[in-house]
A = this chain, B = another copy of it.
């Protein structure tokens, strides 16, 4: 959440990380180059050294970087979680909550239309590959062969992402001290077992 910028970090990484933090928080349109420069303690014009293409290039670089990190991280989290679907979803949720919020919905609806059509299309593909695809695989492999939900693993993946991102974006006072990861696990449990049949968290 609090993207701390480590002191020992390549200048380029500091710029990208700071920009990512702000874009992730408020979206493309609401962040100005001055906001980013101020957060870095430099002047707005200096950003053009790191991103000659200006705001759009900065956003595209930052978003691409974040999505690639998610693709790897989400894949790893799922693979290392072993065989059970529940454990894999717990791990995926844990990863997503450990990262700056992605806000897939805002990205598609608000941010993409604001940049050039060509770049937007590339990002849309990257976003699908990084966020939906790994989850889709988990659902597909984790579901019983005769489950009618198996054919709709993409939809389940999208819905899962929505739920976890929703938890991620929750304001603090909604939480009552409960950690977001616990809330995510509760929602995963109800979803796997059915809302009414859900009894308690089962380890597997």
Chain A positions near chain B (C-beta within 8 angstroms): 25-30, 85, 101, 103-106, 108-110, 113-114, 124, 139, 143-144, 147-149, 152, 154-156, 158-159, 161-163, 165-167, 169-171, 174, 183, 186-187, 190-200
Contacts and interface: CB of A to CB of B under 8 A. Distances in A.
A147 B200 CA distance: 10
A190 B191 CA distance: 7
* Chain copies in complex: 2
B108 A106 contact: no
5 contacts: A27-B30, A105-B166, A110-B110, A148-B198, A190-B191
A105 B108 contact: no
A109 B169 contact: yes
Contacts of A190: 149, 156, 191
Given A27-B110, A147-B195, A192-B196, A162 B166 contact: yes
Given A149-B190, A162-B163, A198-B148, A110 B105 contact: no
A108 B196 contact: no
B170 A166 contact: no
A149 B27 contact: no
Contacts of A183: 155
Contact of A148 (B26, B124, B166, B199): B199
A171 B123 CA distance: 14
B196 A143 contact: yes
A109 to B, nearest CB: 5
A128 B144 CA distance: 38
Given A163-B159, A186-B152, A187-B159, A108 B194 contact: no
B143 A195 contact: yes
